[in-house]
Amino acid sequence: MSTQASNRKKIFNDPVYGFISIPDALHFDLIEHAYFQRLRRIKQLGLTHLVYAGALHTRFHHSLGAMHLMQQAIAVLRSKGQQIPEDEAQAASIAILLHDIGHGPYSHTLEKTIVKCMTHEQLSSHIMRLLNGVFDNQLEKAIQIFEGTYPRKFLCQLVSSQLDMDRMDYLKRDSFFTGVAEGTINADRLLTMLDVADDNLVIEAKGIYSVENFLVARRLMYWQVYLHKTVLSAEYMLTAVLKRAKQLSAAGHELPATPALSYFLKNDLSSDDFCNETKAMDMFTQLDDFDVFTSLKIWQNHPDKVLSLLSGGIVNRRLFKVELSNEAFDPEITKRYKMKIAEKLKISSEEAELLFIEEVTSNHAYHPLQPRINILFRDGSLRDISEASDQLNISVLSQPVTRHFICYPKWLL
């Protein structure tokens, strides 16, 4: 066996699942590609490590974990008589491996500020098409599965649904690295209970309690981790930093930044720029956490008061105070806070807007408008989990919980 072929048999020692095998040469070459290696430099949970110090795992970890779960899911479905030829199994595995390849650093923050023209899902599709050209059109089926257009729906649902391999891995992995035990799910049990009915992914009735636990864990992880109030403060401060940097760049200020970040600060891009030009995508695929955080370290000493206060606050974890409410905040109170910030820093009211954040967030543990999680009973009947659950009312988890919040530099008030 050649050295090259031998190298493609490598395994990863994953802290969550143990050894993860690379199934074939195509997977190996995709993982080795620079576009995928970039995910090593993008944290899965952005700034969440400012609250949970262990949350330093990357999108690279998560993508490999989701691929591992996909391979297990395919094996389970085959054992139950589902005919899944090798090319489809490979395509489904590649689709989930590459599902996050379009994420940028601090992804959702980036989508609100400097790459607003395309979602990370759209960017993933585009990058997968670029890789398809590199790998002699071997990713055609994987792209169809990722985009949900492949004729066999259950394969698409393994990649994107309310009980897909993406969610299953990130809940298990994020719970592990944050240490939030309430988010623990029994992935092995869920996978073992998978089946297909009428070309849709279903869960055998014996697995109903594992699904209940999955949905409750998801709700708890959102409020304890993903939408933790201090995490929200850090993420919205970063959003404000990038908005301010964009404003200053548009006004002709030369901000120190890496070439990739500087390109996005100086240019207002459209989706056509990504799809029809090479430079935008070239720059995007160079962008990672290091570009952003290096700039924050420099900008904390910038003469612009807004940029320096926000940048220094993130670098040194001097985060804004957060207040949560079930109702919208009194406009008079928010107006008074903004005036005080402007007076204290001697800045304009427009600049003070970036230092007072007022937003709304919501959480669905089980979304009634997305494809349902169906439970398969012995008589062949199917029931939605919200109707089939007898231990707790899952329909309650179908209702969105909405919270209003404000963030501001308390030390200035």
- Give the number of C-alpha atoms closer than 13 A to the C-alpha of residue 143, restricted to the C-beta side: 17
The arithmetic mean of pLDDT across residues 341-349, rounded, is 95
In a domain, residue 37? The reply is: yes
**CATH code of 71's domain:** 1.10.3210.10
pLDDT of residue 372: 84
Give CA 50 to chain center in angstroms: 17
Q: Is 323 exposed, middle or buried (0-12, 13-18, 19+ CB in 10 A)?
A: middle
The 3-state DSSP composition of the chain as helix, strand, coil percent (nearest 5) reads 55, 10, 30
Judge whether residue 303 has pLDDT over 60.
yes
- The torsion region of residue 46 among left (phi > 0), alpha (psi -120 to 50) and beta comes to left
In a domain, residue 308? The reply is: no
In a domain, residue 50? The reply is: yes
* Alpha helices per DSSP H over 285-383: 289-299, 305-315, 331-345, 349-353
In a domain, residue 314? The reply is: no
What is the tally of structural domains in the chain?
1
289-299 and 259-266 helices cross at what angle (nearest 10)?
Answer: 80
Read off the pLDDT band of 2 (50, 70, 90): very low
Q: How far apart are CA 59 and CA 67, in angstroms?
A: 12
Question: Among 3, 13, 43, which Cα is nearest to 234's?
Answer: 43
Residues pairing with 362 in the sheet? 402
Structure tokens at 378: 């012995």
Q: What is the pLDDT of residues 354-396, one digit of tens each?
A: 999 999 988 777 876 677 899 999 999 999 888 887 655 566 6
In a domain, residue 303? The reply is: no
Helix (H) or strand (E) run with residue 92 in it: helix 86-97
255 three-class SS: coil
In a domain, residue 18? The reply is: yes
In a domain, residue 365? The reply is: no
pLDDT of residue 367: 77
Q: Is 102 exposed, middle or buried (0-12, 13-18, 19+ CB in 10 A)?
A: buried
pLDDT of residue 390: 62
Taking every pair of C-alpha atoms in the chain, what is the biggest distance, in angstroms?
Answer: 74
In a domain, residue 339? The reply is: no
Q: How far apart are CA 63 and CA 96, in angstroms?
A: 7
Residue 179 domain boundaries: 3-98+139-227
Can you give the pTM of this predicted structure? Answer: 0.94
Question: Among 31, 72, 33, which Cα is nearest to 172's?
Answer: 72
